[in-house]
């Protein structure tokens, strides 16, 4: 079994400030990790993913995330946010076993303020 | 055109009515899924299908049924809708099991259902 915890349901931040969205997971097997973004009135799209290799993963729109196996975390960061980054962000985990079902966190609403 | 298309995008209905949400995909993926999104709860899996003859219940399948009419089509039905089924519903696809399969999902734009 696997689970994902997103520690913050709402994150307000001013434009051009840095942001970190936190994600912790639990799993009995090795995992793949994902961040998805959902803009208002749209579906989810992939922001970035960790499959293997370097623990620092770069995604679209200047976002990056770091896989920390010892802390079972996969926090998402951006050094300078824009108004257009306002969206809901979902962390998700997939076990490397045969089922590889994706389990989602409850989401973090990022609101960028002018 | 979108790779994963859901219809209708918005629907308002009354308690007790039968509702069908449809999903079609052009990605050529074998696996298809239906999720429901509620505020503060993230996405929860309703049903999934690994191929046309393989249908599986997810964590919240009660009150729902599905049909996999073809590799590219996967529909979700509410036989008798109730107000707590008001939600945003997403269809998604993924690759078949294999070396390149990571669990990554590709989503439609969602179907917003309101049950009065």
| B23-77 per-position pLDDT tens digit | 999 999 999 999 999 988 889 999 999 889 999 999 899 999 999 999 999 999 9
pLDDT of A98 higher than 60: no
Taking the C-alpha atoms of residue B52 and residue B32, their distance in angstroms, rounded to an integer, is 10
Strand partners, A68: A73
Instruction: Please say whether the beta carbons of A90 and A107 come within 8 A.
Output: yes
> Which tokens go with A75?
């926090």
> Which tokens go with B68?
């996999």
Tell me, yes or no, if B63 comes closer than 8 A to chain A by beta carbon: no
Location of structure tokens 């509410």: B78
Using pLDDT thresholds of 50, 70 and 90, give the confidence band for residue A67. very high
- What pLDDT is stored for residue B20 in this prediction? 97
Tell me, yes or no, if B115 comes closer than 8 A to chain A by beta carbon: no
- Backbone phi, then psi, for A85, in 5-degree steps? -80, -5
Tell me, yes or no, if B45 comes closer than 8 A to chain A by beta carbon: yes
Chain A residues whose CB is inside 8 A of the B90 CB are: 43-44
- What pLDDT is stored for residue A103 in this prediction? 87
Chain B residues whose CB is inside 8 A of the A100 CB are: 97, 101-103
Chain A residues whose CB is inside 8 A of the B45 CB are: 101
- What pLDDT is stored for residue B96 in this prediction? 76
Tell me, yes or no, if B98 comes closer than 8 A to chain A by beta carbon: no
Taking the C-alpha atoms of residue A107 and residue A76, their distance in angstroms, rounded to an integer, is 12
Query: Residue A100 is nearest to which of B44, B101, B109, comparing CB atoms?
Result: B101
pLDDT in tens, B74-107: 999 999 999 999 999 999 998 876 666 677 889 9
Strand partners, B88: B37, B112
Taking the C-alpha atoms of residue B26 and residue B46, their distance in angstroms, rounded to an integer, is 22
């Amino acid at each position: 079994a696997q689970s994902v915890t997103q520690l913050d349901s709402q994150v307000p931040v001013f434009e051009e400030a840095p942001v970190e969205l936190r994600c912790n997971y639990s799993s009995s097997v090795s995992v793949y990790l994902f961040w998805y973004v959902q803009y208002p009135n749209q579906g989810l799209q992939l922001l970035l993913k960790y499959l293997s290799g370097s623990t620092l993963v770069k995604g679209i729109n200047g976002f990056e995330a770091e896989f920390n196996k010892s802390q079972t975390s996969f926090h998402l960061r951006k050094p300078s946010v824009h108004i257009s980054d306002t969206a809901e962000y979902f962390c998700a985990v997939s076990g490397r076993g045969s089922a590889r079902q994706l389990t989602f966190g409850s989401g973090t609403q990022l609101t960028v303020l002018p | 055109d979108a790779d994963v298309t859901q219809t209708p995008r918005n629907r308002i209905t009354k308690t007790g009515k039968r509702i069908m949400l449809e999903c079609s995909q052009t990605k050529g993926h074998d696996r298809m899924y239906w999720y429901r999104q509620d505020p503060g709860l993230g996405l929860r899996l309703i049903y999934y299908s690994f191929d046309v003859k393989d249908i599986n219940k997810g964590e919240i399948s009660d009150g729902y049924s599905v049909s996999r009419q073809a590799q590219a089509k996967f529909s979700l039905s509410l036989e008798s809708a109730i107000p707590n089924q008001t939600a945003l519903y997403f269809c998604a696809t993924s690759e078949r099991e294999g070396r390149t399969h990571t669990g990554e999902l590709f989503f439609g734009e969602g179907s917003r259902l309101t049950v009065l």
